[in-house]
Amino acid sequence: MKQTIATFLGLTVIGTFVYFGMDNTPISEVEIAKIDNISYEEIEQSENYSREFSNKEIRVGKVNIPNDVIVSRADFRRELPGGQDYEPEHIFREDMAGVTFICSYLDNVFVPSGNTIVTEVNGAGCGSYKMYHRENDLENWIVDEDGNPIEPLEKEMFIRKEISIDPDDIPSERLLEPITNKI
């Protein structure tokens, strides 16, 4: 009997992430999981491991990942322009299912239901699936499901440079250069 990806990896589901559409209705829900007691070498030996997409940076265009594979340490991040009318970019097939993304960067990317995002391997956090966009201060801010800024993506740098991390302090007019360059 063929072992499932979840069983092979020893996945533990630790939560879910819901993608919302422009009308604020849920359009997808994916499992967020962690893995313990397995090495990347063991993962790469799996018959389900995708060498085509793992350890790659694919930052533009559509991506046709087959169903039921493991994708490890891939970077699919997209940058969204500022403003309130946005939606995560749909780069994967709508019917993609059974894909397990391990320590991959999926910021601003829509992941269809039926797939899993692993954000922790052997106790170490990894990968990302934040939604963010560039604001009038020309910096990327993590946003909530309504597209409202919550905090700067580079929060530590803002604090170190003593720049406000309060979204209410984002300039109302677009700056000519990033605010972090001015200080």
pLDDT tens per residue, range 125-167: 999 988 888 889 999 888 876 778 999 989 999 999 999 999 9
- Does residue 99 share a domain with residue 22? yes
Whether residue 142 is found in the same domain as residue 171: yes
CA 21 to chain centre: 16
| Domains identified in the chain, total number | 2
pLDDT value of position 51: 93
Residues 102 and 140 in one domain: no
Residues 94 and 162 placed together within one structural domain of the fold? no
Spell out, as residue ranges, where the chain has pLDDT lower than 70: 1-3, 22, 24, 80-86, 145, 183
pLDDT at 1: 43
- Owning domain of residue 161: 132-182
Cα–Cα distance for residue pair 167/183, rounded to 1 Å:
18
Distance CA 171, CA 110 (A): 29
pLDDT at 60: 84
